[in-house]
Structure 1
Amino acid sequence: MKKRALFIDRDGTLVIEPPIDYQLDSLEKLEFYPKVFRNLYFIKKNLDFEFVMVTNQDGLGTSSFPEETFWPAHNLMMKTLEGEGIQFEDILIDRSFPEDNAPTRKPRTGMLGKYMTEDYDLANSYVIGDRLTDVELANNLGAKAIFLNDEVAVPAELKEVCVLQTADWDVISEYLFAGERKAEVKRTTKETDIYVSINLDGKGDTDISTGLGFFDHMLDQIGKHSGTDITIKVNGDLEVDEHHTMEDTALALGEALYLALGNKRGIERYGYCLPMDDCLCSVALDFGGRPWLVWDAEFKREKIGDMPTEMFLHFFKSLSDAAKMNLNIKAEGANEHHKIEGIFKSLARALKMAKKRDIFNYELPSTKGVI
């Protein structure tokens, strides 16, 4: 069986990169990256990756970075990691300066020849680092990149290779251990043509176009306030009315939620509620696998924006059915706009709570043993 590897950067990834000179050349500068110990140990214990350190150390061994200032901190770092059960199978250090354009310097692959063979499954290996050169290295290797930096944008040409961007080692472990939670659903009928994609572990980025402006605004609330990336594109028979567009969007979005949740291990399962100005809205949610809707909300207006208020209940019923979840929705207040927006925001917050996953307690949240 082919082997997999994690090619892990050192400074800025395992340890905090010293500011100003970027050289870890004294024990006083040694500071480990938050949460790195428990997560690397968890990965080493539960997964089959080889650990390979790949680091550029500019001018190591020259007068600008003498070896006697490098090794004490480096050796203490390695000894501390080993004491926590974290062993590296290989340590690769390039000593060149950037202007040398050495073939061994990241993002070039000169130090990694032994891994670019049939013995390794590079397509399912990862480069983890805090610089874009680490993402470029993954691209050059034919591996995937995990970018430990949430402040620098990944260029468009590297987005495909960069499967995760975060500043949190907990998120990296979750991704490697439990996988991504993404889904795409395409639903085409004689009445609607719908595309939905979601990423439950996203940042709340949305791209929504249903042909109904207020509906778009409400769906945007779900993504923004739940931290779920959502794309929804709908071409519906609005020349007839809004019914098919809203119902089929709910069915497609619900199905995408159901698929993205996967086996549901480690999730919180439940979530709930918020006030919005004059309104109090609560959405209690259970991803228990049994659809049910309780609806306690009345609207006096026929439409809010271009959305018929009679379709609100129907939307949430369809969403509940397709996602196989319980929804108990209540809203009270005078302002109709605030009331329905509060419901959508409450749903988003309930979703954010219920989808939360803990890989360190990776159990099915049910006494039945099935969900």
Structure 2
Amino acid sequence: MEKYLFIDRDGTIIEEPVIDKQVDSYEKLKFEPHVISSLKALKDAGYKLVMVTNQDGLGTDSLPYEKFSGPHNLVLDVLSSEDVHFEEILICPHFPHENCACRKPKTGLLGNYLVPGVIDKEHSFVIGDRETDMELAKNMGIRGERYNPETNNWKQITEFLTRIPRTAHVVRNTNETKIDLFIDLDHSGKSEISTGIGFFDHMLDQIATHGGITMKLKAEGDLEVDEHHTVEDVGITLGTALKQALGDKRGIGRFGFAVAMDEVEAKLEGLPDDSLMNHPVDACMDISGRPYCVFSCDADFVRQQVGELSTEMVPHFFHSLAYAMGLTLHLKVTTGNTHHQVEALFKAFGRALRMALKKEGNDLPSSKGVL
């Protein structure tokens, strides 16, 4: 999925003439303040741009093509000179009384973008100067930003759209578990975790604390059977939430502690022993979009259970998380006190996650151009 901006033309990219509302001559053409630099910044931040505009009577005597096309093409040429290009330019040529299916706020022009899996609805927007643009956003199931040169100008819109919080709220209900999870990747210290498994709560808090994230989790499961379904589904839900909150992954560090590429691991020496109970532990990850998990515990865990958590569920939790998130993950811990082994693994995962999530700039950290 991609994040898109569906942008109005008249009154948003270029000024709309007060009298006749039509830009049908070069003399009437004037760009809105800061729009060119803003569109370039938004494109560089990973947004795909689509122009969506109503042009009443286009092709009729009211607005002949020859009068419309010259100024319109000049707009596109100027934007293109600054490396701003539109994926599509969608124009409704009808008058309001024609009651067509393509005139905003109707979505007739946008069918290709309403197919599931095409646009990232959490991070896509309609930008326009009219209420009909905001209604279009609602009809598309995305958010709208209403442009106003005085109260919400292009600089303000760009600042907001390039600083969207990296958060996610995931609800997962099955016949075995009910899970509600909110995460915030850019703030820490306010986590609230309740799964009904005390030691597991403590371990999840280690991920939040050492990962530098906020986690608000409420999980109810069939613990009268055992903890398997709860631990597994929390792993799936956390992986799903991390994937959603990362969005298009632009600017992230991608790698945590070391480079992990499928079955090949490159270690980084010198982990913070004081925070990992002096247990040698390797936590290597790559937010790659390719799920892969390698888990190794020297001599296995001595104890079968820590608190109410079975140690066999530790690797299963990380496998579930990695496959839901699309994460390449390598975890290894040496033998020793079982409580310390498990806690070292969760802390190391959190520390690796902190490094991989850190955002600097807007570049996508992949030579393929996709993660």
State the AA in 1 paired with 2:369. G
Q: Is the 8 A contact 2:170 2:182 kept in 1?
A: yes
Structure 2 counterpart of 1:296: 296
Q: Kindly state the Cα deviation for residue 306 of structure 1 after the two structures are TM-superposed.
A: 0.8
Cα 1:204–1:292 change in 2 (3 A) is: farther
State the AA in 2 paired with 1:336. T
* SS of residue in 2 equivalent to 1:218: helix
Structure 2 counterpart of 1:323: 325
Q: Kindly state the Cα deviation for residue 310 of structure 1 after the two structures are TM-superposed.
A: 0.7
Q: 1:46 aligns with which of 41, 44, 54?
A: 41
Q: Is the 8 A contact 1:204 1:226 kept in 2?
A: no
* SS of residue in 2 equivalent to 1:344: helix
Q: Partners in 2 of 1:201 and 1:174 — Cα distance?
A: 17
Give deviations 1:145-194, integer Å, cap 9, x for gaps.
x9xxxxxxxxxxxxxxxxxxxxxxxxxx9865142211111111110000
Structure 2 counterpart of 1:246: 231
State the AA in 2 paired with 1:253. L
Percentage of pairs with the same residue: 44
Q: 1:187 aligns with which of 169, 172, 192?
A: 172
Q: Is the 8 A contact 2:196 2:219 kept in 1?
A: yes
Structure 2 counterpart of 1:30: none
Give deviations 1:67-91, integer Å, cap 9, x for gaps.
xxxxxxxxxxxxxxxxxxxxxxxxx
Q: How many aligned positions are there?
A: 222
Structural RMSD (CA): 3.1
5+ residue gaps, structure 1: 5-41, 49-116, 127-140, 147-172
5+ residue gaps, structure 2: 1-7, 14-36, 44-128, 135-143, 258-270
Q: Kindly state the Cα deviation for residue 226 of structure 1 after the two structures are TM-superposed.
A: 1.2
Q: Is the 8 A contact 2:293 2:330 kept in 1?
A: yes
Structure 1 counterpart of 2:249: 264
* SS of residue in 2 equivalent to 1:354: helix
Q: Partners in 2 of 1:259 and 1:285 — Cα distance?
A: 18
* Superposition pairs of residues 1-371 of structure 1, within 5 angstroms: 46=41, 124=145, 176-272=161-257, 273-275=271-273, 276-297=276-297, 298-359=300-361, 362-371=362-371
TM-score, length of structure 1 as denominator length: 0.54
Q: Kindly state the Cα deviation for residue 46 of structure 1 after the two structures are TM-superposed.
A: 2.9
Cα 1:323–1:333 change in 2 (3 A) is: same
* SS of residue in 2 equivalent to 1:233: strand
Cα 1:190–1:364 change in 2 (3 A) is: same
Q: Partners in 1 of 2:177 and 2:167 — Cα distance?
A: 23
Q: Partners in 2 of 1:357 and 1:46 — Cα distance?
A: 17
Q: Partners in 1 of 2:160 and 2:283 — Cα distance?
A: 28
Give deviations 1:34-79, integer Å, cap 9, x for gaps.
xxxxxxxx9898369xxxxxxxxxxxxxxxxxxxxxxxxxxxxxxx
Cα 1:293–1:47 change in 2 (3 A) is: closer
* SS of residue in 1 equivalent to 2:217: strand
* SS of residue in 1 equivalent to 2:249: coil
Give deviations 1:109-166, integer Å, cap 9, x for gaps.
xxxxxxxx979x9x8599xxxxxxxxxxxxxx999xx9xxxxxxxxxxxxxxxxxxxx
